[in-house]
């Protein structure tokens, strides 16, 4: 009797294992019945954005009944960790939304099927994109692309027109004018500052500083791809940044501090991305917002592109499905919907969005008048570290990942190190990274 | 004869019932451990399709020759020591206070564990806002109300104040774990033991040393052991609070995900495993767990 019970128990256990196995397989076979299932990894975690993405996926599945899209939603801060672990297990999703910096890291390790991406851009038409946006995703040899641009943002100095006018200032045109305005508005005792400047030890500071450096013709790499951190131009740029930082809030200022300081009137100027625009619109101050670009030897706009990429090593069926899906998302109406998930914040990277009626008639876009067009066109003026004479060095991905530049800025501005000391430390670190 | 047969049958049943758990442990813990050990001998690319280069003990020697590793190790050991000692002592003190009847005892006990059950991310942001350089309440009270300082200190920008704050945060966050464990064991100590000690003329400290401490020792060792392991590998609390306290968890994370050096990161985790194992074995051997008997 006891043995009988034992046998039933064993049979029960085995049955459970088999059933669990079958249940996980049935999901896959369901997908197979419909044709092919691919995963789409993106970072739009907010519910409203998720609704838009899921809506686009449903529309795509209706038009392409043999392709099923399985969305994989990841927090932006976890994206790189997720990519590394999924890549290690050979489980990368077929379509991945990735920024230009991490696309370089993936490209370096041959994780991107650049040919497949190139085909997609060829099918959509390269002329459709702003040249600046394409430059950011072009491979080092200039022959192909690391991702298909879907949206982007640019960064500059945002200023409160009324506040500046109250002290007789207009849009600052040069480094010295920026400093002059910042000085005029700084009253440390009353916690009022002239400019909200990023000083935190992350890429936010690198992006802000890069505009000053590049406007002074200082890049991290030269045309041979060698590190050129210790040039007089770079030293001038860091010295100026440190000097300007005396008119900003004390300590390490990140995204929250900079945005809050500008929005609550603590500072009349802020170095920030276009993601400031939705908050300004909400506050009803759209008409009062001005946009300036750091300028010394030349103007330097910082911008970044969010692109959709296809990992290397996919089977043909999966690759074709991924290409079809990206082409679908890049169509004027769908790309517009994608960009308008954050109107004003996310910027169009292709002309078919800027010219789209839905985009133009969006109330947030309209509220800013000509500014969105000015911003979108500034994509063509984009200058970023590691992009030298249109050559987009792949090693810049490692340089950014190493965090050496933000550490240098934070050391000099917050940590009290001299410009020379901070630059030397960063140079030593970068030499190790690039070696 | 019958008894022996029954025992064999129960043993088999126990084995069968344990098998799924044992397999799961092997799969989820054993395999990753072995795989990690294996990777630590290679120059490993993120892309598994690219060939990995066998480099012997180079990852280990590189790590052990890196001054930054020893700096992180020192910070981590000090952080672990202070947090384990602080959270255990505070947990024990509060448990002794709460081990007596008073009004709203149940409510007070529930409130005391709030810091432990609230998600880390909410607590971390609350602390970051409290100590914010511009609009933090601590600077507001210290500078604008009490006038303790003229210029607000940059709490999370200074390595020393950052370290003190992450230690205080961890003690405050994790002491309820020790509190719950100690309160449970304290309730099992017979009051007659304290009465007998009182009759012998023992004061509060002597009662604690002769009655309480031996009784709670096994639980205390478990609390200390587990907390030591958890704090030694701490990553998210420190990483999210400040960039100025480079504990080993952060050193490891940056090696793996900022520098994408998976082989070296694996070697670091093997070294950490050896350090923590040695530490725990030494501590457990030196402390007599059967003191209560």
**pLDDT at position B110:** 87
Query: Do the chains contact at B259 and A433, CB–CB below 8 Å?
Result: yes
**pLDDT at position A27:** 41
> Would you say residue A388 has pLDDT above 80?
yes
Helices B159-186/B120-130 angle, 10° precision:
130
> Would you say residue A31 has pLDDT above 60?
no
Instruction: Find which of A10, A88, A191, A434 to mutate to test the B interface (most B CBs within 10 Å of its CB).
Output: A88
Tell how strand A95-99 and strand A36-42 pair up: parallel
> Would you say residue A425 has pLDDT above 80?
yes
| Phi, psi for B200 (deg, rounded to 5) | -80, 0
ipTM confidence: 0.79
Whose structure tokens read 């008073």?
B102
> Would you say residue A3 has pLDDT above 60?
no
Distance CA B230, CA B117 (A): 16
Chain A contact for B151 (CB, 8 A cutoff)? yes
**pLDDT at position B100:** 86
Out of A110, A200, A250, the one facing B154 most closely (by C-beta) is A250
> Would you say residue A6 has pLDDT above 90?
no
Give the three-state DSSP class for A425.
Answer: helix
> Would you say residue A379 has pLDDT above 90?
no
Domains along the sequence of chain A with CATH = 36-152+305-367 (3.40.190.10), 154-303+373-434 (3.40.190.10)
Whose structure tokens read 């309209």?
A366
Chain A contact for B49 (CB, 8 A cutoff)? yes
| Sequence-ordered list of residues with C-beta below 8 angstroms from that of B135, at least 6 positions apart, any chain | A260, B129
> With contact defined as beta carbons under 8 Å apart, do B184 and B109 qualify?
no
Tokens of residue B182, six digits: 């100690």
> Considering only CB atoms, which chain A residues are within 8 Å of B265?
none
> Would you say residue A370 has pLDDT above 80?
yes
| Sequence-ordered list of residues with C-beta below 8 angstroms from that of B275, at least 6 positions apart, any chain | B73, B232
A156: β partners: A272
| Sequence-ordered list of residues with C-beta below 8 angstroms from that of B37, at least 6 positions apart, any chain | B266, B270
**pLDDT at position A19:** 54
Mean pLDDT over each residue of chain B, to the nearest integer = 90
> Considering only CB atoms, which chain B residues are within 8 Å of A400?
none
> Would you say residue B293 has pLDDT above 50?
no
Tell how strand A36-42 and strand A67-73 pair up: parallel
Average pLDDT for B137-158:
88
Give the three-state DSSP class for A182.
Answer: helix
**pLDDT at position A29:** 40
CA-nearest residue to A199 within chain B is: B157
pLDDT-based confidence at residue A12 (cuts at 50, 70, 90): low
Tens digits of per-residue pLDDT, B33-67?
999 999 999 998 888 888 889 999 999 999 999 99
> Would you say residue A325 has pLDDT above 60?
yes
* Percent over 70 (pLDDT), chain A: 92
Distance CA B246, CA B238 (A): 8
CATH number corresponding to B66-292: 1.10.3720.10
> Considering only CB atoms, which chain A residues are within 8 Å of B258?
401-403
**pLDDT at position A13:** 56
**Over the Cα atoms of chain B, what is R_g?**
24
Query: Do the chains contact at B47 and A105, CB–CB below 8 Å?
Result: no
| Alpha-carbon gap: A261 to the closest alpha carbon of chain B (Å) | 9
Quick one: A26 exposed, middle or buried, by C-beta within 10 A (0-12, 13-18, 19+)?
exposed
Nearest to A268 by CA among A169, A363, A139, A126: A169
**pLDDT at position B11:** 84
> With contact defined as beta carbons under 8 Å apart, do A252 and A267 qualify?
no
CA distances from B110 to B115, B117, B264 (A): 10, 10, 44
**pLDDT at position B103:** 86
| Alpha-carbon gap: A304 to the closest alpha carbon of chain B (Å) | 19
> Would you say residue A11 has pLDDT above 70?
no
Residues in chain A: 435
Quick one: B77 exposed, middle or buried, by C-beta within 10 A (0-12, 13-18, 19+)?
middle
Query: Do the chains contact at B157 and A312, CB–CB below 8 Å?
Result: no
Average pLDDT for B144-170:
91
> Considering only CB atoms, which chain A residues are within 8 Å of B50?
109-110
For the four alpha carbons of A65, A70, A75 and A78, in that order, the dihedral sign comes to negative
Other residues' Cβ atoms within 10 Å of the Cβ of residue A223: 11
> Would you say residue B20 has pLDDT above 90?
yes
Distance CA B281, CA A90 (A): 38
**pLDDT at position A32:** 46
**pLDDT at position A30:** 42
Give DSSP secondary structure letters for B175-209.
HHHHHHHHHHHHTTS-HHHHHHHHHTT--HHHHII
């Amino acid at each position: 009797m006891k043995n009988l019970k034992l046998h039933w128990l064993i049979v029960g256990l085995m049955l459970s294992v088999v059933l669990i196995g079958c249940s996980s397989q049935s999901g896959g076979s369901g997908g197979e019945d419909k044709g092919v299932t691919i995963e789409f990894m993106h970072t739009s975690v907010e519910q409203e954005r998720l609704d838009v993405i899921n809506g686009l996926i449903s529309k795509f599945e209706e038009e392409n009944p043999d392709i099923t899209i399985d969305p994989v939603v990841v927090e932006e801060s976890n994206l790189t960790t997720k990519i590394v672990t999924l890549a290690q297990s050979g489980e990368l999703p077929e379509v991945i939304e990735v920024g230009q910096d991490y696309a370089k890291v993936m490209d370096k390790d041959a994780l991107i099927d650049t040919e497949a991406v190139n085909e997609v851009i060829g099918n959509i038409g390269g002329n459709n994109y702003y040249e600046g946006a394409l430059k950011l995703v072009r491979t080092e040899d200039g022959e192909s692309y690391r991702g298909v641009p879907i949206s982007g943002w640019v960064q500059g100095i945002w200023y409160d027109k009324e506040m500046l006018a109250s002290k007789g200032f207009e849009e600052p045109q040069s480094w010295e004018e920026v400093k002059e305005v910042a000085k005029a508005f700084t009253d440390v005792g009353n916690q009022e500052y002239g400019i909200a400047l990023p000083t935190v030890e992350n890429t936010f500071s690198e992006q802000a500083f890069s505009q000053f450096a590049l406007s002074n013709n200082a890049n991290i790499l030269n045309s041979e791809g060698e590190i050129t951190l210790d040039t007089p131009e770079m030293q001038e740029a860091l010295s100026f940044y440190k000097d300007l930082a005396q008119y900003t809030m004390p300590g390490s200022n990140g995204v929250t501090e900079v945005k809050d300081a500008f929005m609550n009137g603590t500072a009349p100027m802020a170095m920030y991305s276009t993601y400031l625009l939705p908050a300004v619109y909400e506050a009803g101050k759209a008409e009062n917002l001005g946009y300036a670009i750091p300028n010394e030897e030349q103007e330097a706009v910082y911008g970044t592109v969010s692109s959709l990429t296809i990992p290397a090593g996919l089977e043909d069926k999966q690759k074709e499905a991924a290409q079809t899906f990206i082409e679908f998302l890049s169509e004027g109406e769908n790309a517009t919907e994608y960009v308008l998930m954050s109107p004003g914040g996310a910027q169009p990277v292709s002309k078919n969005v800027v010219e789209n009626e839905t985009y133009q008639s969006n109330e947030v876009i309209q509220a800013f008048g000509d500014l969105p067009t000015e911003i979108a066109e500034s994509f063509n003026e984009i200058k970023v570290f590691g992009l030298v004479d249109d050559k987009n060095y792949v090693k810049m991905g490692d340089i950014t990942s190493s965090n050496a530049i933000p550490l240098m800025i934070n050391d000099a501005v917050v940590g009290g190190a001299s410009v020379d000391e901070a630059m030397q430390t960063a140079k030593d670190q970068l030499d190790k990274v690039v070696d | 004869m019958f008894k022996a047969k029954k025992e064999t049958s129960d043993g088999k049943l126990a084995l069968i019932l344990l098998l799924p758990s044992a397999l799961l442990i092997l799969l989820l813990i054993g395999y990753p451990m072995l795989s990690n050990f294996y990777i630590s001998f290679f120059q490993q690319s993120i892309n598994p399709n690219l060939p990995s280069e066998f480099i012997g003990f180079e990852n280990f020697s590189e790590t052990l020759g890196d001054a930054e590793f020893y700096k992180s190790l020192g910070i981590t050991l000090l952080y672990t020591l202070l947090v384990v000692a602080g959270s255990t002592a505070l947990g024990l003190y509060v448990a002794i206070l709460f081990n007596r009847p008073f009004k709203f005892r149940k409510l007070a006990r529930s409130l005391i564990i709030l810091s432990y059950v609230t998600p880390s991310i909410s607590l971390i942001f609350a602390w970051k806002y409290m100590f914010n350089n511009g609009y933090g309440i601590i600077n507001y009270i210290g500078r604008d109300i009490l006038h303790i300082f003229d210029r607000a200190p940059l709490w999370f920008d200074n390595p020393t104040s950052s370290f003190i704050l992450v230690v205080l945060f961890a003690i405050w966050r994790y002491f309820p774990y020790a509190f719950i464990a100690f309160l449970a064991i304290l309730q099992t100590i017979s009051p007659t033991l304290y009465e007998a000690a009182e009759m012998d003329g023992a004061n509060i400290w002597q009662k604690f040393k002769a009655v309480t401490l031996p009784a709670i020792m096994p639980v205390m060792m478990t609390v200390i052991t587990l907390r030591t392991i958890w704090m030694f590998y701490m990553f998210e609390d420190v990483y999210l609070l400040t960039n100025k306290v480079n504990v080993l968890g952060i050193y490891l994370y940056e090696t793996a995900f900022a520098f994408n050096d998976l082989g070296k990161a694996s070697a670091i985790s093997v070294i950490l495993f050896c350090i923590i194992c040695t530490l725990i074995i030494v501590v457990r051997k030196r402390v007599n767990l059967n003191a209560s008997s």
